[in-house]
Structure 1
Amino acid sequence: MSALRGSRIAGVGGYRPERVVANAELAAMTSVSARWMEERTGIRQRHYAGTGETVVSMAIAAGAAAIKAADLVPDDVDLVVLATSSREQLAPAGAPQVASGLGTRGAAAFDLNAVCAGFTFGLSMASNAVRTGQAENVLVVGSDKLSPMIGPELPDTFAIFADGAGAAVVSAAATEDIGQAVWGSDGTRAAVIESKLRPDGRVRATMDGPVVYRWATGEMPAVAKAACARYGVSPSDIAWFVPHQANRRIIDTVARTLAIPPERVVLDIVETGNTSSASIPLALTRLRDSGRSTPGELVLLLGFGSGLSHAGMVARMC
């Protein structure tokens, strides 16, 4: 086996469905106000998939954008990882359809379900595949269509979840630009956030918000610090904090605990909502598109959510 090499994020891309849903539209259908939604979640609007848009079609759109940003063509991609928890079809996996839809030359492809931490799990696996020489360029896509799983009878999830896809290309590098993940899970709290089939034949997402808040704000700062330490840096060295866009109150609290200034925290949730596995790559795309970041800057990625599962890592901005 050849010696390990480095890996890097070569490009990112995102896709938000055209339909924009403001808080006022949802408030008219449920028992809480638009003001309550923004105060409790930080969200002002979110995107819902249109007729015919699927987890796979959104993933293809985001993946194509990431490949272009990496200055590659689809034939350069030899592995596709699709992180999702919301496909209606259980088999076959969606990743091969994404690979074919993009026009790759028979790339290896598989799905990964770590829900809101899915992208960071996938990014770590992609980095390992590149570092060991198993792949040259890996496309990691987080894509979720959550709007069919929510309804006005459950305001907590109705106000938060949305649809979208985000992607990143991981390629070989001379240096280690993607750090090792600090990851874990707690299956004893599986019921805290879950989606399952109800007797009426519909899949519904449910969440115990207070428990999620206490877990995320109480335990995720230590994960973030450990991820920094594993890369040989501290939170004060981080240029940008890009957490899972779960809820603005959670993001703000974790950032304060880490002493990361608000201007260094990337917030995509305000205009995009919580898109589960898509949230981190969509936030990275927003950061790149804003022009505020510089290639090579340190970015702290922190995925956490249903499972309960988490994965944090430090990477360098593309």
Structure 2
Amino acid sequence: MMIRSRIAGCGSYLPERAVSNVELAERVETSDDWIVQRTGIRSRHLAADGELTSDLAVHAARAALEHAGVDAGSIDCLILATTTPDNTFPSTATKVQAALGMTRGFAMDVQAVCAGFIYALSVADNFIRNGQARRALVIGAETFSRILDWEDRTTCVLFGDGAGAVVLEAVENEGTSADAGVLSTHLHSDGRFYDLLYVNGGPSSTGTVGHVRMHGQEIFRHAVTKLSEVVDEALTANGLTPADIDWLVPHQANRRIIDGIGRKLKLAADKVVLTVDRHGNTSAASIPLALAEAVADGRIRRGDLVLMEAIGGGLTWGAALIRW
């Protein structure tokens, strides 16, 4: 027998305000057609004034805890993936910990931009596998609207705000690919491509927050190659093939990238969970937001094999295979 981490519950939260492409076209030189054709995005949610990343994270975390039927007092570790923390320090995770009433265990942030949720899931999964935690809360939360240059039409139309969360708990099973739980996670980074997607500011460099800067075509090229490779890596590690996959829950950055990975895996379009049209790119929040939606509406069921993958600034990328 071996210990694995199983997802016991999911939760999500989107700010109330939804902003359409048409509304954005009144602000920058763009159009609904231009945005949809290149990205698949039709609208996104933006946090209200005074609504912080920690606020979004707390909403999603409470929903996940309720779905799992557990309380915050039973959580051993809280891992929050975010690129938009409330403060430079301390970690936003500790703020969420306090708001949830979690007074034991530990909490920390993970920063891997759009790949952040995969990284955070891997960290929590390893704590559970090693016996350092029995139950973990993993959150992806972002207020990306706070770091956008609203005069740069190539970036400001892409991103949105939101949060998603999962509760992981330790289970014992035989450890085969048919048993429930996180089968494996696979993480990568390559700092040589640091300047392809970054924020031009920070406490150490400029003392300012800065704005998102992106070389979109280069990111697209790397995304297709690196995500294909890490998906193959995950399947090979578990002795599985694309035909075994029931659901693809990808990072929701660009419809063309998502469609490309789906075609490579020969997955039917209705086996790919898509929220990019309504959420935009919510960075570390995008995968748990999409996952929570597919679980809530009954698409993902116990026994299904779920593949998650993401790529973000750094460059960072990764994949996770989960037997639901």
TM over 0.5: yes
Task: State the TM-score, normalizing by the size of structure 2.
Answer: 0.94
Contact 1:149–1:203 (8 Å) recurs in 2: yes
The answer to whether the 8 A contact 1:99-1:107 is kept is no
1:299·1:314 contact (CA, 8 Å) conserved in 2?
yes
Once the two structures are superposed, the pairs formed by residues 7-22 of structure 1 within 5 Å of their partners are 7-22=5-20
* 1:94 matched to 2:101: no
Does residue 243 in structure 1 map to residue 241 in structure 2? no
Q: Which of 294, 301, 319 is the equivalent residue of 1:287? A: 294
Whole-Å separation in 1 of the counterparts to 2:93 and 2:14:
19
For 2:251 and 2:261, the matched residues in 1 are separated by 11
- Name segments (4+ residues, structure 1) moved above 4 Å: 198-202
Check conservation: 2:227, 2:310, Cα contact below 8 A. no
Structure 1 CA distance for aligned equivalents of residues 217 and 159 of structure 2: 16
Q: Is the 8 A contact 1:60 1:101 kept in 2?
A: yes
1:186 aligns with 2:184: no
Amino acid at match of 1:225: D
Which position in structure 2 is the counterpart of 1:229?
236
Change (3 A) 1:201 1:129: closer
Where does residue 51 of structure 2 map in the other structure? 53
**Deviation of the 1:180 alpha carbon:** 1.9
**Identical positions, percent:** 39
Q: Please identify, of 13-22 and 171-180, the stretch whose mean Cα deviation from structure 2 is larger.
A: 171-180
Alignment gaps of 5+ in structure 2: 176-180
Residue identity in the other structure for 1:38: V
| Structure 1 unaligned residues grouped into runs of 5+ | none
Residue 200 to residue 8, structure 1, CA distance change in 2 (3 Å): closer
Greater Cα shift, 3-12 or 86-95: 3-12
| Aligned: 1:209 with 2:213 | no
Contact 1:7/1:131 (8 A) holds in 2? yes
In the TM superposition, 1:66-215 aligns within 5 A as 66-175=64-173, 176=175, 177-197=181-201, 201=208, 203-215=210-222
Distance apart, 1:4 and its partner CA: 4.7
Letter matched to residue 233 of structure 1: L
Q: Is the 8 A contact 1:179 1:230 kept in 2?
A: no
Which AA in structure 2 matches 1:113? Answer: Q
Q: Distance in 2 between matches of 1:129 and 1:219?
A: 26
- Two-structure CA RMSD over aligned residues (Å): 1.5
Q: CA deviation at 1:197?
A: 2.3
Residue type matched to 1:47 in 2? H
Distance in 1 (CA, whole Å) between partners of 2:42 and 2:293 is 16
- What TM-score comes out, normalization by structure 1 length? 0.95
Q: Is the CA contact 1:217–1:253 (under 8 Å) kept in the aligned structure 2?
A: yes
How far off its partner does 1:43 sit? Answer: 0.6
Judge conservation of contact 1:78–1:137 (CA < 8 Å) in 2.
yes
Which residue matches 2:178?
A: none
